[in-house]
Amino acid sequence: MERCDPKDLHPPPFVALERLFSASRPLIAMIHLPPLPGSPGWRGSMAAILDRVEEDARSFEAGGLDGLLVENYGDAPFFPGPVPPETVAALSLAVDRARKAVSLPVGVNVLRNDARSALAVAAVTGAAFIRVNVHTGTMFTDQGMLEGKAHETLRTRRALGPEVAVCADVLVKHASPPPGVTSEEVARDLRERGRADVLIVSGSGTGRSPDPDRIRRVKASVPDAPIWIGSGLDSNSAPDLLPLADGAIVGSALQRDGQAGAGADPVRIRRFMEEVAPLR
């Protein structure tokens, strides 16, 4: 009888972020897409959206960001579960345009919580990572109760084949946890049971900074996991927050007038990167 190699009995390794990012503390810029086909705000020009994606991507690369995260930000109100085919198609075009425009790693987040579609987009475009708002457990949101589907997400990733990093939120913003749930417990479940490659700690909403002590507590509970800041990082908050984390997703601070969804602002990008350079 052929003997089994003991290493084959252990869970597969986590995705190594150093293979995706050259920076030890990567800064990921948000590409907030305008309303896509089928959403209430759709204005009828996919070509204009793709041109905007390319312009934003090039501005972020020129400004020194380390990666991009494409998100259907303009599609509110969001589906609580699977998004329709037209959204997946539009996101695939947008991620593909961003990947062709720059050499940075590109990720995708399908709001509100469609990890399966995000993996499908990644598989056909070559995206390097996905963001999953609720990967394990449950959260109460404006879409109702969202349930994590880590079991489905990781099996889908294995079936599709891409080595895509799963970046999962620890008590995602714009949501409330069940009573008694702590960030530390959620973080441990995300890492040890949900097998998330990166944990994301955000504030209560878009543009709002997380509590520094919460980042510390999450980091202490899962010391082997990369921790990213998921919202509210700007020139004012960076000195207190960035040294505590292993990376960050940056949105509003890099966009016109500091507004999420307004498009990349080269002046703001340059100023922000100059100010955070000593912290990296």
Task: Tell me: pLDDT of 279 over 60.
Answer: yes
- The CA-based dihedral angle spanning residues 238, 136, 109, 124, taken in that order and rounded to the nearest 10 degrees: 130
The confidence band for 182, taking pLDDT boundaries of 50, 70 and 90, is very high
* CA gap 60, 126 in Å, rounded: 19
Identify the pLDDT of residue 31.
98
Mean pLDDT of the chain: 94
Q: What is the mean pLDDT of residues 238-262?
A: 95
Task: Tell me: pLDDT of 102 over 80.
Answer: yes
The confidence band for 6, taking pLDDT boundaries of 50, 70 and 90, is low
Q: What is the mean pLDDT of residues 45-69?
A: 98
Q: To which residue do tokens 């070509």 refer?
A: 47
State the CB neighbour count (10 A cutoff) for residue 160.
Answer: 14
According to DSSP, residue 166 is labeled: E
Cα separation values, 50 from 86, 206, 248, Å: 15, 23, 25
The model carries a pTM of 0.94
The confidence band for 1, taking pLDDT boundaries of 50, 70 and 90, is low
Identify the pLDDT of residue 234.
95
Identify the pLDDT of residue 8.
59
Q: Which of 71, 64, 68 is nearest to 280 (CA)?
A: 64
Contact call for residues 136 and 92 (beta carbons, < 8 A): no
Q: What is the mean pLDDT of residues 24-29?
A: 96
| Residues forming a β-bridge with 168 | 132, 199
Identify the pLDDT of residue 207.
84
Q: Which amino acid is at 190?
A: L
The confidence band for 23, taking pLDDT boundaries of 50, 70 and 90, is very high
Identify the pLDDT of residue 217.
97
Q: What is the mean pLDDT of residues 87-102?
A: 98
Contact call for residues 255 and 269 (beta carbons, < 8 A): no
CATH 3.20.20.390 describes domain 23-279: yes
State the CB neighbour count (10 A cutoff) for residue 25.
Answer: 17
Task: Tell me: pLDDT of 2 over 70.
Answer: no
Q: What is the mean pLDDT of residues 151-179?
A: 94
Please tell me the least confidently modeled range out of 12-21, 189-198, 251-260, 261-270: 12-21
The confidence band for 276, taking pLDDT boundaries of 50, 70 and 90, is very high
